[in-house]
Structures are given as structure tokens and as C-alpha cells.
Structure 1
């Protein structure tokens, strides 16, 4: 991957529907050269998908929280993944350093739905406790999977 590929990725992150010609004008390549590069980035697994992002407020999922998850003993990441994948309100989860075992980003329709989802996480085997912070306002959002 070179700087042109990185520039193409940056432009696609901003607008996944951008035309190859528009991208080419920005990076100094022809539309066909951009298409070949994008096709290669897809084939190589650099680009995993093209998707949309829906405004959570419009989608009815405007209540969000970040949850620290604390486990009893040692729990394998695969087990945490299995537990958390069963809760549809979990939109992101990762293991972390520090006293918590994982950090979980959750979205729900309202506080009651969020509380129900948190309870489903709390009652899972090996989960000792959680610590939650409800998001009041979003300040910066740069999705960069």
C-alpha cells in the first residue's frame, strides 16, 4: 500500500459512494487507475466492505453508553465475544489494559432498553460487575475500522 492508496481510502471513508473519476481528480489518477487500485484493495482484504452509517437518532437508537466489564478470574477473549455477541445492543467491544477486562459500546432505544441490555451482560457467567457511562453528547466521530 502506498500514499495514493491511503489517499483513496481517506476519500472513500468520507464518501463510499464517490465516483472513481472524482477520486481520480483528487489524487491525480484516471478513473480506471482508481478502479484498479480499489479492486486490488478489496481483493487484498484492505477494504472489507462498503456500507452506510445511519444516524442513530433517526434509527431510534440514540441512547448510548460505554461500559467497563470486569470478570471473575481469567476469561478468554473468545468467551467474552460469545457472551457479548448475544446482546444486540452491543455495537463494539474490545479487551483492554487496566483494571477492566473489556470496554463495551452499547446503543439502545431508551434508558430502560439500555438497562435491560446491561442486565443481560451482568448475569453472564464469569462477569463480576460493570461500570457504565452514558453518553450525553457526541463531540467527534471518526469511524476508522
Structure 2
């Protein structure tokens, strides 16, 4: 398993129904090369199956973590490009352009801290983010 395989797995964790062509665009491979890698990961037992989530384990008011992530973009990242990249990240419910030391405020739902870690890595490696600051919602009134 190499870095591309790990990227593919990370994207499939976010959206297991992602098409091979969309997945390929995200990791820089052709559709057929992406499909071949996914099939190999399945055959090797790395990917054991696909599942659905119910209201019990969907992040948000019923479970998981509610987070607010302040985002500062890299100097060479345009806001429009950032928004286009994060638009399909399922765990991001909202991206708000704000004033102050950060550029955007994200409202995020993730099932656990592992998913948060993967999201933060993805924001920095794929979305042009230079810095983040995360706050966890403890309760809402």
C-alpha cells in the first residue's frame, strides 16, 4: 500500500459512493487506474466492504462531534478555488467567509477525532489551507 492508496481510502471514508472518475480527479489518476487500485484494495482485504450510516452514527446533533474550524488560506490560494475544493467534502456543513485573522469559518460534523485528523490533513494537502484552529462544540442551546 502506498500514499495514493491511503489517499483513496481517506476519500472513500468520506464518501464511499464517490465515482471512480471523481476519486481519480482527487488523487491525480485516470478513472481506470483508480478503479484498478480500488479493486486491488478490495481483493487484498484492505477494503472489507461498504456500509450505510444511520441516525445513531451520523455526525451532528445525534452523534459525533460538532466542530468549528477557523481556516487561513495559503497566500497562493484563491477563495473561489478553496470553496470549489471543499464543496464536496461531506463533513463540511458550511463555509463562511469572515473578517479577522482567518479567512473562513467551517461548521463541521465528524464521527470521531480520527475523522477530524483526516479532514484537517485533507484541508492542508488538497484545499490550499495554511493554518487551522479547531473548536469543539460542547453543547448547543
Contact 1:65 1:134 in 2 (8 A): yes
Please, which of 71, 78, 81 is the counterpart of residue 80 of structure 2? 78
Contact 1:87–1:121 (CA under 8 A) maintained in structure 2: no
Partners of 2:124 and 2:93 in 1: CA distance: 17
Shift of 1:74: 5.7
**Pick aligned residue for 1:60 from 58, 61, 64:** 58
Take 2:94 and 2:107, find their aligned partners in 1: how far apart are those partners?
5
Which residues in structure 2 correspond to 1:1-145 (within 5 Å)? Answer: 58-61=56-59, 62-73=64-75, 75-139=77-141
CA distance in 2, matches of 1:100, 1:109: 25
Distance 2:121 2:77 in 1: 19
Query: Once superposed, which parts of structure 1, at least 4 consecutive aligned residues long, lie more than 4 Å away?
Result: none
RMSD: 2.1
Alpha-carbon distance in 2 for matches of 1:135, 1:126: 25
| Alignment coverage as a number of residue pairs | 84
TM-score when normalising by structure 1: 0.51
Rg: which structure is higher? 1
Q: Cα 1:59–1:72, aligned 2, differ >3 Å: closer, same or farther?
A: same
Q: 1:57 to 1:125 in 2, by over 3 A?
A: closer
- Segments of structure 2 that go 5 or more residues without pairing to the other structure are 1-53
1:87 Cα offset (Å): 1.8
CA distance in 1: counterparts of 2:69 and 2:90, whole angstroms: 15
